[in-house]
Copies of this chain bind each other. A is one copy, B any other.
Amino acid sequence: MTRFACAAAAALMVFLCSAAQADEGMWTFHGFPFAKANAALKTNLDQAWLDRVRSATVRLANCTASFVSDEGLILTNHHCVEACLAEQSSKEKSFVEDGFLAKSRDEEKRCQTQVADVLIGMEEITAKVSAATAGKDETTANDVRKSTLTQLEGECEKAATQKCQTVTLYEGGQYWLYKYKRYTDVRLVFAPEASIAAFGGDPDNFQFPRWCLDMGILRAYEDGKPAKPANHLKFNFAGPSVGEAVFVSGHPGATDRLLTLAQLKQQRNQDLPQWLLRYSEIRGRLIQFSQESPQNERITADLLNSIENAIKVRRKMLDALHEDSLLERKAAEQAALQKSVAKDAKLKKSTGDPWHDIDVVLATERGLFVPYNYIEAGAGLQGRLVNFARTLVRGAAERDKPNGQRYREYTDPALPRVEQQLGAKVPVYNELEELRLGNSLERMREWLGPDHPVVRKLMSKESPAQLAKRLISGTKLNDPAVRLELWKGGSAAIAASTDPMIELARMIDPDARALRKAYEDGVEAPLRSATERIARARFASLGTSVYPDATFTLRLNYGTVQGWKENGTPVEPFTHLSRAFERATGADPFRIPDSWLRVKDKLDMNTPFNLSTNNDIVGGNSGSALINAKAEIVGLLFDGNIHSVSGAYWFDTEKNRAVAVHPAIIREALSKVYAADALLGELTR
């Protein structure tokens, strides 16, 4: 198939042959290239295998996971349950730091903001969307497209007890309706201490060799009882051998492999540098704050970890965009596609010049970037409390409108999740809120300038820090009951509220909405029109032999267990327990927890710890089981090596590697360190 595709599309050879690299590809479950995969791997995958894997794969709110017992046990990463651990914690007691093991079902702790989805159906709706938008101008088409998606989701949810979400693939080349079984009662069963789950911390993040027990176990409940999933995966504790075929079924979050050259340059010149500047400063503030006391350290850990991870990702994405070779490759791909369009009169007419149109859009976007980002997108209004307030104010106004006319995040199908988050009984720490809100207001003033009308409105008589302090000490929104009452009270309750944070959100909402309108009409609408045309031109040349960019929807990719060469030196694909002890300094993040030190003599130092494979993954795949051709768990994916970060833009066959926990260390830890016999029993029965 590879050879055929290359021959059939000679003009696009650079593009196509790169897209058809072995082991590259985040394939949808409705477009998996069985023949190609089976030929490459000498396997016999078929639709039944795919269905079985799909029905055992779980999408969490932030990660991937898998059912691993017939009583609803869910295996994922520690960093995927870290938010749940933090929700259960306080200034005095951190489950992130100390880990957690439920000794019985009664002790399993409900994660307040988590859900678990299993994909049960997929329906293509491209034709319906196209029919609805046909003949409309870009702005109208953009509005109609959204209301159509809302309508299709609503009808789908009415038809059966299921969650329905539309999915945009190929930047608008295809639209799908994905149907999920949703579990909203998800409880925490087990997590090791952060010091072993994330041994090496930020310095080792995105590195390999590696020694992390980055695992967490949840359980889905239904009607107050452990769920009975349609399917679950079983462990093969021996793990895989070097070169063995392995698969990742999961939800890669987002890639930008199909963007135009100009869009990539906008990321390089504007989006990434500005984000990095902003978050590097926040990182500094959080580190300093966390060093003030052990309490501060506890309440900051989860947030700081996710920020440091995001910084590392974007830093390396920026590095990738600074590689001349990457941009040259993208330019060649784009030129090849443009050439194939130019040669086909009919295609040329229907396509127009979307690349030029995108240049115009991007100029508009640059003009809107700072105000849109700081005012509407929330860069200037950071923290949980201000977010609650903005959700309450906007949600009340939106719910007063007909479903089809609302912002997409407040449609009827979206509301239960909004309400779950508003009502979640999770701790809110005012010190941390002050830091975040004060910092973001300060940067809003810096970037918009002290004389900007919104800045004058908010801060003409107070400094950012003074304003943040007043709002946070005065608001009652840290009480979930207060939030739910305001939510249920709708726009009347919002209008009557004298809560200072609600007042702030009310004050800023018109400015924020105006910017959103400008952005939707000036950027989103013409951009979607242009990217749809590019996608159609690409389909005309290549069909769907090119996979769509990642969208945090279910994908399968295949690869093999292998290392790589770093500056000419081979990196072996397995690590072992002994080296973790050698690398320990005794101080975080290179500290082996006491639970391990106590039983050190009993541990088998040759136990494989982590492994690397060449599967094509990105963030969102975290928590995915690494499975073999029999669909047995032979690893728990938790990271990629440093070269995997450029996977946002392209897959580097030579160096991009996924990193997983080896099943043997999972068994060793559950058995000898945590004495989690009942849990291990359930996983192995």
A residues with CB within 8 A of B:
200, 202-204, 207, 268-270, 273, 276-278, 280-289, 291-292, 311, 315, 318, 322, 435, 439, 445-446, 449-451, 459-463, 465-466, 583, 585-588, 590
Residues of B within 8 A of A288 (CB): 284-286, 288-289, 435
Closest B residue to A279 using CB positions: B280
* Neighbour of A200 across the interface among B285, B315, B450, CB < 8 A: B450
Q: Identify 17 residue pairs between A and B in the complex whose beta-carbon atoms are under 8 Å apart, listed by A's number.
A: A200-B450, A203-B449, A203-B450, A204-B450, A207-B449, A273-B273, A277-B280, A277-B311, A278-B280, A281-B283, A284-B286, A284-B287, A284-B439, A285-B288, A288-B289, A288-B435, A450-B590
A438, closest chain B residue (CB):
B291
Residue from the list B284, B287, B322, B583 in contact with A283, Cβ < 8 A: B284
Pick the residue among B273, B445, B461, B466 that contacts A203 (CB under 8 A): B445
Bound Cα distance from A288 to B442, whole angstroms:
13
Q: CB-CB < 8 A to A590: which residues of B?
A: 450, 463
Count of this chain's copies in the oligomeric assembly? 2
Q: Which residues of chain B are near A277, meaning CB under 8 Å?
A: 276-277, 280, 311, 315
- CB-CB under 8 A from A270, the residues of chain B are 322
In the complex, A269 Cα to B327 Cα: how many Å?
13
Inter-chain CA distance A450–B587, complex, in Å, is: 13
Contact among B207, B283, B587 for A466, CB-based, below 8 A: B587
The A contact surface, by secondary structure, is helix
Complex Cα spacing A276 to B272, Å? 12
Nearest CB of chain B from residue A202's CB, rounded to whole Å: 7
Closest to A315 in B: B277
CB closest residue in chain B, given A289:
B288
Question: Hey, which chain B residues are within 8 Å of A203, CB to CB?
Answer: 445-446, 449-450
Residues of B within 8 A of A280 (CB): 276-278, 280-281, 284
Nearest B-chain residue to A277, judged by Cβ:
B280
Q: How far is the CA of A315 from the CA of B370 in the complex (A)?
A: 14
Which residues of B are found within 8 Å of A287, using beta-carbon distances?
A: 281, 284-285, 439
Task: List the 6 closest A-B pairs by CB distance, nearest first.
Answer: A284-B284, A463-B587, A280-B280, A288-B288, A281-B284, A269-B322
Closest chain-B Cβ to A314's Cβ sits at a distance in Å of 10
Q: Give min CB distance, A41 to chain B, whole Å.
A: 34
Query: What distance in Å separates the Cβ of A363 from its nearest Cβ neighbour in chain B?
Result: 12
Residue of B nearest to A450 (CB): B203
Residues of B within 8 A of A286 (CB): 284, 288
A451 to B277 alpha-carbon distance, docked (Å): 27
Cβ–Cβ contact B463 & A588, under 8 A? yes
The winner among A203, A270, A315, A446 for most chain B CB atoms within 10 A is A203
Which of chain B's residues has its CB closest to A292's CB?
Answer: B292
Chain B residue at smallest Cβ distance from A312: B446
- Using CB atoms, name the residue of chain B closest to A460: B585
- State the CA gap A285–B282 with chains docked (Å): 8
